[in-house]
Structure 1
């Protein structure tokens, strides 16, 4: 049984190394193609808005796990550069909606171009059946991770800080 565990460990390590190497390459490529000077938190905020069309300051605060005041500062900086726009909810004047603005839409148009470039340069070299299989395996692993939950897994194996 110990031999199987070692084999599993080494296989997973090789997978993780390959993914890390590939992600590092894609990040470097992405950085060379993107002209926007955005912080990681600003990018996460823009992604959240783009996926949800219109969000409130409270929703952003909850999603980013920061205060509404901190969200206000983050949104103000993005608003100055026309990445986002704010407007008061006409039905609840204490609520502020945040949505993408001109620079925000341009940012995501450029992101789409970069994705298509990466797909044509790299993923297109794989067979369609390989891509389908890759997608299925990654989705299956993702479902296992979601089902098991990180905190539950740590508690189940008694792996707490200092016990590793």
Structure 2
């Protein structure tokens, strides 16, 4: 069984190295297209808000696993740069929604443009069946990770 575990470990290492190498290449080659000087936490916050509508400070705090005060500071800094804006929930005036502002929308428009370019330049070289297999495997692994993570939290 140990030899089997070692083989799995090596295969996963090879996969991770290939993905890291590919991602590093994309960052080096395309970083000039994204001029935004954002921290990793700021990018994660923007991505969360982009994928969810009517996000509150509390929801962001829970997602990032930080205090509401820390979220307020992050949001304020991004608000100064026009990435985010806040608005009062008309149904509950004590609740504030955070949403993308002009610079935030532009950030994701540029990101989409880069993604489409990468797909056309690289992924389009794969056969449709290979892409479907890759998608299936990645989604299956993601499901396993999320299921196991949920079990760990119980």
TM-score with structure 1 length normalisation? 0.84
Could you say which structure has the larger radius of gyration?
1
The secondary structure found in structure 2 opposite 1:53 is coil
How many residues align structurally? 152
Q: Which position in structure 1 is the counterpart of 2:39?
A: 39
Structure 2: where are the runs of 5+ without partners? Answer: none
In the TM superposition, what is the alpha-carbon distance from 1:43 to its structure 2 partner?
0.8
Query: Contact 1:60/1:71 (CA < 8 Å) preserved in 2?
Result: yes
The secondary structure found in structure 2 opposite 1:149 is helix
In the TM superposition, what is the alpha-carbon distance from 1:93 to its structure 2 partner?
2.0
**Does residue 17 of structure 2 align to residue 17 of structure 1?**
yes
In the TM superposition, what is the alpha-carbon distance from 1:150 to its structure 2 partner?
8.2
Q: Which deviates further from its counterpart, 25-34 or 71-80?
A: 25-34
Query: Contact 1:53/1:100 (CA < 8 Å) preserved in 2?
Result: no
**Does residue 87 of structure 2 align to residue 106 of structure 1?**
no
Whole-angstrom distance in 2 between the partners of 1:5 and 1:78: 45
**Does residue 53 of structure 2 align to residue 63 of structure 1?**
no
Q: Which position in structure 2 is the counterpart of 1:72?
A: 72
Structure 1: where are the runs of 5+ without partners? Answer: 153-164
In the TM superposition, what is the alpha-carbon distance from 1:139 to its structure 2 partner?
1.3
Change (3 A) 1:87 1:30: same
TM-score with structure 2 length normalisation? 0.89
In the TM superposition, what is the alpha-carbon distance from 1:41 to its structure 2 partner?
1.1
**Mapping for residues 1-164 of structure 1, pairs under 5 Å:** 1-149=1-149, 152=152
In the TM superposition, what is the alpha-carbon distance from 1:151 to its structure 2 partner?
7.2
The secondary structure found in structure 2 opposite 1:86 is strand
Q: What is the CA deviation profile of residues 131-163 of structure 1, one whole-angstrom value per residue up to 9, with x for unaligned ones?
A: 0111111111222222233874xxxxxxxxxxx
